[in-house]
Amino acid sequence: MVGVAEKSDTSRPEKTVGFGPWGGFRETDLALPSVMLLNGDCPESLKREERAAEPPRENGLDESEPGEETTGQEVIVIQDTGFSVKILAPGIEPFSLQVSPQEMVQEIHQVLMDREDTCHRTCFSLHLDGNMLDHFSELRSVEGLQEGSVLRVVEEPYTVREARIHVRHVRDLLKSLDPSDAFNGVDCNSLSFLSVFTDGDLGDSGKRKKGLEMDPIDCTPPEYILPGSRERPLCPLQPQNRDWKPLQCLKVLTMSGWNPPPGNRKMHGDLMYLFVITAEDRQVSITASTRGFYLNQSTAYHFNPKPASPRFLSHSLVELLNQISPTFKKNFAVLQKKRVQRHPFERIATPFQVYSWTAPQAEHAMDCVRAEDAYTSRLGYEEHIPGQTRDWNEELQTTRELPRKNLPERLLRERAIFKVHSDFTAAATRGAMAVIDGNVMAINPSEETKMQMFIWNNIFFSLGFDVRDHYKDFGGDVAAYVAPTNDLNGVRTYNAVDVEGLYTLGTVVVDYRGYRVTAQSIIPGILERDQEQSVIYGSIDFGKTVMSHPRYLELLERTSRPLKILRHRVLNDRGEEVELCSSVECKGIIGNDGRHYILDLLRTFPPDLNFLPVPGETLPEEARYIWIQLRTIPEIQCLLLLKRRMSGNSTKQQAVAISQVRITLFTE
């Protein structure tokens, strides 16, 4: 079974990870409460464990030994000397912007889309001396770009995709202070306690509070935590902020029922139609064309695409709404001031989606973007490359095979791993929801519902039920429900050890509507063979038939030291000894691509001894098999090993034991 990480929002200009103030290398330690993910990073402590278990490097030195000469280790010095450029945008005064040579042109686009006076623009290009800059070029590669250069913002014609991106961006600006998207886990929004703890003392907003620092503070504890209270609400566990009070700019912004434009109107440049109800209760229909946005004469019951009077043609939807609604113009300006005054930690989207299980029941407002995302193909969010389906397994494994000899190569590799894992997680999450909603056909439709399996977008989906009585003696469906979590932890662990030549499957575990769905990438050729023919290492029948393979023993032995799993022998049903370096349920399969895969890692770590059944003790049915479900975490294993080595030894021997037992932390 399998797991992964971040949502890829490609309907908006992609936030490319970089080295500048708006990029920055992002960590890849991920964990979602409702969507459990396998992250693609390798903690440094675990890397040290791996290096200690590996043979010496090409230079003859072991990198895990401090104090040794590391002549083969390349020292990389990244010089990030920033410089200022001047931005000329339509309708506003020129301003200076500090940039870094390592940034991409696309990152300047993102800065302008976040800036208060240019945030309403999305469809534009940057020109230097009359030449348009490529979005994906690094600034240091742009000829003639230097200190004091002038970059001109040039409005570009809209396409259907760009028009949708623009409407989505305007919607995001209108909901920038609304926590509903964060509570619902949408577009990488997440809740933040920063302003709650600091009370606005950080950033620009803190300057205005200096005169209020002596105001009295009410420290009375809330009633629900006092003795005698009968209610224990969960919502106060989430941050609360006074700025979340709604500031209404529009009553309705939605797609018109007249979409899509008829053929003759497409020839005139019509891309899509919008329906708006302003705060003054004025109902208007808006045409999005290649040149921009303007009012048309259509009503709810009559289609008339001719421009309405007065004829306003604005390249930005915000500029058009400013002209037809005074309330929108006033409230939108106030809203954007509040948005930019928030600390960057609260404004920047998280690199992965966070889901809250204590979200309050909020008022359900009309939202055209939310409706489009739920029931239509999301333009710009396609899971399909034109003409083909993404081969997730190949992408996941190829990124792990990227070179990592020096710092730039390791940074590039980590970025690629994080990006592919994020895309896989987003696709697997949508696929799991589609499976439970009944929108995906099963590959075995004649079977009972809980035994059905699904393939969607090159991802394999299975439900958390004991379909073949594998867990009959361990709790049945209860154990089968917990097994994907333990397997995911095992996949995460082996993935973190990062042994070259040993591959795990991409895995996501999704809890949705009371069901647990496991999504996995597909091993090449696995669907063309029987399981008995595929498995060359481990057991497919819980230890009755056990197989071993010298290549798997070689690869898994390199994980034995960091994972504290010794090479050992087990007996099969014929009494023959078979050598393994993992749990007996761990399976090894060589795919058609020649890679060595391991899967079914649910018993990577031993059960928690504190929950082993005591002879003669009677337990309720739901607690009888809890010892199988609960596993000892790696940190506890290391501590137990350390305690055993230190027992009865001298102080010097204890110090040696501490240096030998390095605690490996696995962040979730």
Query: What is the rounded distance in angstroms from the CA atom of residue 58 to the CA atom of residue 206?
Result: 54
The closest of 157, 132, 129, 134 to 144, measured between CA atoms, is 129
Region 336-342 average pLDDT:
86
pLDDT at 306 exceeding the cut of 90: yes
| Burial of 337 per CB tally in 10 Å (0-12, 13-18, 19+) | exposed
Of the candidates 338, 335, 332, 299, which has an alpha carbon nearest to the alpha carbon of residue 317? 332
How would you list the strands of the sheet with 459-463, edge to edge? 35-37, 507-512, 515-521, 459-463, 453-456
181 close to 175: Cβ distance less than 8 angstroms: yes
**pLDDT class for 199, splitting at 50, 70, 90?**
low
Residue 287 to residue 307: CA distance in whole angstroms: 9
Q: How confident is the model at residue 38 (pLDDT cuts 50, 70, 90)?
A: very low
Backbone dihedral region for residue 482 (phi beyond 0: left; psi -120 to 50: alpha; all else: beta): alpha
Per-residue tokens: 357: 């299980």
pLDDT score for 58: 38
83-156 carries CATH number 3.10.20.90: yes
Is the confidence at residue 382, as pLDDT, over 60? no
User: Using 50, 70 and 90 to split pLDDT, how confident is the model at 390?
Assistant: confident
Short-list 506, 468, 513, 507, CA closest to 484: 507
Amino acid (one-letter) located at 192: S
Checking if the pLDDT of 37 tops 50, the result is no
* Cα Rg of the chain, angstroms: 29
pLDDT on residue 389: 77
Cα–Cα distance measured from residue 174 to residue 249, given in angstroms and rounded to the nearest whole number? 7
Q: To the nearest whole number, what is the mean pLDDT of the chain?
A: 77
Q: Higher model confidence: residue 324 or residue 237?
A: 324
For the cut 80, the answer to whether the pLDDT of residue 307 exceeds it is yes
Query: Rounded to whole angstroms, how far apart are CA atoms 474 and 161?
Result: 52
Residue 414 and residue 434: Cα distance in Å, rounded? 30
> What DSSP character marks residue 1?
-
Nearest to 270 by CA among 253, 297, 291, 299: 291
Q: Which residue has the higher pLDDT, 188 or 19?
A: 188
Phi, psi of 577 (to 5 degrees): -85, 135
Rounded Cα distance between 422 and 84, Å, is: 33
**pLDDT at res. 87:** 93
Higher pLDDT, 650 or 533: 533
Residue 213: predicted pLDDT: 54
DSSP-based three-state secondary structure for 401: coil
Q: Say if residue 468's pLDDT is above 70.
A: yes
Which of 303, 306, 278, 304 shows the shortest CA–CA distance to 294?
306
Average pLDDT (370-374) is 73
Alpha carbons 490 and 488: distance in angstroms, whole number: 5
Contact, 477 vs 448, CB < 8 A? no
How far apart (Å, rounded) are the C-alpha atoms in residues 327 and 331?
6
Could you tell me which CATH number the domain at 250-340 has? 3.30.2280
333-347, 613-627, 628-642: least confident range:
628-642
Residue 75's pLDDT is: 59
pTM, two decimal places: 0.73
CA 80/CA 99 separation, integer angstroms = 10
For the chain, percent of residues with pLDDT exceeding 70: 74
> Which one, of 308, 316, 635, lies nearest residue 489 by Cα?
635
Please check whether residue 166 is in contact with residue 11, taking contact to mean a CB–CB distance below 8 angstroms: no
What CA–CA distance (Å, rounded) separates 295 from 321?
10
Q: Is the dihedral of CA 610, 615, 620, 626 positive or negative?
A: positive
Mean pLDDT of 432-442: 90
Peptide bond before residue 260 is cis, with ω within 30 degrees of 0:
yes
Instruction: Decide which of 374 and 507 is more confident.
Output: 507
